[in-house]
Structure 1
């Protein structure tokens, strides 16, 4: 460790894209990273040796982290950065049983880390939708005092717990006047059993296949069906549950009877589980009520971004107030990817200076780097199929390529992680039918027969990339089946990594899907580098080489 460099901690580090961007400034050393995913941990440590890795942030000992940072000679934590997951609250998502996403609570873990580590500056990265009002916390009795102290005003939110066809009035009466026992005690005891039944409930069209699978999977539960509840909230519900067990046992039962009874049970269970969450988390709630067949409750909420701004200011940090969104394409990525960034710096270090995000380096869209700029040199390098066979493959090394390619090639004539998803016959026919820039919706209907509802398919599915434009946001492109611009094959992990601006000397570890997921989850290192340079400017430091000089062709540099 170098005591002349600033010491940093990376939270929710993933594979280490943000870390890589900060390290590329030459002014920062990373002492500690926190990441719960095992494959991402492995990737991080292979590429960032010497960093102390911790797992679940909820179990972190911050005194221990401070000790690790002091070993660098800095005596403190200078910088904390990271991107805590935050999915937001949405009434529209009925597939999720949980009312409260555990991911939303991880945002508060980031705040807790800033409070405990007291860095000079921090960067929090997140989805651009965090700026919208749909990202809310539910107010609980535990945080009521803090919210009042931050002068935030909670608002009422009408929240749907689900629709119910039978026993609505009886269920409402129970929810408002529970029988002296916690509501969650009336849920199905075994979560695996509930998960299997809930999954079956969504598969009526494929009943012939899924009924057989489910019956086999829940056979052990059928032997003690009535005992799968600790308590029954209603005798009529108990009879409904017993009838479901009998229908599932009897292989002669009609599909209509099974799914009718199953749907009634699952919708009631979902409502009870969500009501149990409200109770367990001591949320500030009104009485349960109904509109038509929907069970509703008014919960008090407050906006996540309002909370973050108020809390960080309370902790003594100045923030970028209005401009919150950056596009990776403005900073050298061959990808249109918008993300939200909060930069915080201790007030005593910046005085009256305004905190701002970095200004775009490449402003005009026609000057954005393209997919061709990033991956064309790999066009004729045949990807591997199995991760077990991963090895350095020879590539065409282009001496005088565009600035992005020069950076991505990292001075090496070899490339790892050039691995792709194998292509089946059906997928290959779709590949062959699509031109650059086209996707699943451009296919003839005869190619869509394997999809139960083709119209609901996203525009990113079966997308053939356009060589002459930046890509869209890179997610897990294996799941989306992205297609190479000119080859009838899937985009490889390495090609996806290049679109994310990981250079070829950065190696991904883990199973194939884990590698694709790590690439998709990452902050593009060049975008991270731009933000790191901006933060350094407030801390009195300058990067060894500016990103602008790295990605701007020499003939267009302003003198």
Structure 2
């Protein structure tokens, strides 16, 4: 019997893709973001998508399937991010949404639980929130294991650490997946077959620039002959002028002072601002790549939605809905599907 899944805080569906690749059929997904929910529904037409605040869901138990199943998801993580120092505390209401996840687990009583979040949850309020999650699952009868995983170790062309908590109801301790990818997949291997684009590009469908040379690109392309979401933020000319001075791996520090006049104090810029990716290494964390102005490794522009999706390991068949800003947010917030796949495969072991 095929294992089923229920995705709480599903976003655009990164974890559900990974679950599918691991043989798990997601039957219900919950998210409050209308644009992410639409993206999810387009790409998972057989899944019941409920677009609502989970705090409004009275009884998750009505969605309980027959047979073995897993409840998984990652509550909003902005409050735990190291870039949001003002909200990394117990006073931030959204930091307590993990309690809704635990409520869903209590009402559904699944065979397995997979909880995901950013590494900052380990450092926020002396790991208070993580301790609540672990204790809550243990009180519900789950044997719990947790750890920090680097997406690059699982075939994702991006150095991105995520925390996973895995619980099993049958008394076994599920081991976290061992690193599977050496050497790492690079940015060049991930995006070199995609079309070159101008600043402000708005192309819905494009043919590939060349044949897929890497195994990763072949995996992402599948049987597709075109890919979608070739949308690039249109930067002002003075921003493009700044890009020209930044080498691969460089950042704002490489920009001449006279071009940074709009910054009251250039020295206070975050190190991640104006970062040009290295073509022969995995990407830095995608995250809010428009705000951070991550730069294409060889072109003087920001990343397209499809390029960012590739660096997250979304397959090219996946289509993102909404304006460019909403698409960028959906991609940046997602759990890399290949990382999720490795985690879900560990349940069967």
* TM bucket, shorter chain: over 0.9
Q: 2:6 aligns with which of 1, 4, 9?
A: 9
Q: How do 1:76-95 and structure 2 match up within 5 A?
A: 78-86=69-77, 87-88=79-80, 93=85
State the match for 1:376 in structure 2.
192
Return the offset for 1:479.
1.1
Matched, 1:37 2:28: no
State the match for 1:523 in structure 2.
335
Q: How do 1:507-518 and structure 2 match up within 5 A?
A: 507-518=319-330
**Mapped partners of 2:143, 2:210: distance in 1:** 45
Matched, 1:331 2:154: yes
Matched, 1:392 2:215: no
Q: What do the CA deviations read for 1:157-208 (whole angstroms, capped 9, x no partner)?
A: xxxxxxxxxxxxxxxxxxxxxxxxxxxxxxxxxxxxxxxxxxxxxxxxxxxx
SS of the residue 2:348 aligns to: helix
Q: What do the CA deviations read for 1:402-448 (whole angstroms, capped 9, x no partner)?
A: 21111111221211001101121101101111111111122111111
Q: What do the CA deviations read for 1:320-361 (whole angstroms, capped 9, x no partner)?
A: 15xx1000000001100001000100134x3xxx33210001
**Mapped partners of 1:453, 1:115: distance in 2:** 50
State the match for 1:109 in structure 2.
100
Return the offset for 1:93.
4.7
Q: 2:276 aligns with which of 432, 449, 464?
A: 464
State the match for 2:223 in structure 1.
411
Matched, 1:56 2:63: no
1:77–1:118 CA contact under 8 A, matched in 2: no
2:145–2:166 CA contact under 8 A, matched in 1: yes
Q: 2:164 aligns with which of 316, 341, 344?
A: 341
Q: Residues 132 and 384 (structure 1 numbering): CA distance in 2 closer, same or farther, change over 3 Å?
A: closer
Matched, 1:316 2:141: yes
State the match for 1:132 in structure 2.
123
**Mapped partners of 1:313, 1:494: distance in 2:** 40
State the match for 1:121 in structure 2.
112
Q: Residues 395 and 535 (structure 1 numbering): CA distance in 2 closer, same or farther, change over 3 Å?
A: same
Q: How do 1:432-447 and structure 2 match up within 5 A?
A: 432-447=244-259
Q: TM-score by structure 1 length?
A: 0.59
**Mapped partners of 1:82, 1:509: distance in 2:** 21
**Mapped partners of 1:393, 1:344: distance in 2:** 42
2:208–2:226 CA contact under 8 A, matched in 1: yes
Q: Residues 536 and 22 (structure 1 numbering): CA distance in 2 closer, same or farther, change over 3 Å?
A: same
SS of the residue 2:192 aligns to: helix
| Structure with the higher fraction of residues in helix conformation | 1
Q: What do the CA deviations read for 1:431-483 (whole angstroms, capped 9, x no partner)?
A: 11111111112211111111123222112211111101111111121111111
SS of the residue 1:478 aligns to: coil
SS of the residue 1:468 aligns to: coil
**Mapped partners of 2:33, 2:265: distance in 1:** 33
Return the offset for 1:307.
1.9
State the match for 2:175 in structure 1.
356
Q: 2:263 aligns with which of 451, 460, 485?
A: 451
**Mapped partners of 2:19, 2:140: distance in 1:** 24
Return the offset for 1:76.
5.2
Q: Please tell me whether Structure 1 or Structure 2 has the larger radius of gyration of its CA atoms.
A: 1
SS of the residue 2:191 aligns to: helix
Provide the aligned length of Structure 1 versus Structure 2.
345
**Mapped partners of 1:93, 1:328: distance in 2:** 24
5+ long unaligned stretches in structure 2: none
**Mapped partners of 2:210, 2:20: distance in 1:** 25
5+ long unaligned stretches in structure 1: 137-302, 538-559
2:69–2:110 CA contact under 8 A, matched in 1: yes
Matched, 1:536 2:336: no
SS of the residue 1:484 aligns to: coil
Q: What do the CA deviations read for 1:390-410 (whole angstroms, capped 9, x no partner)?
A: 4211113525x2211111112
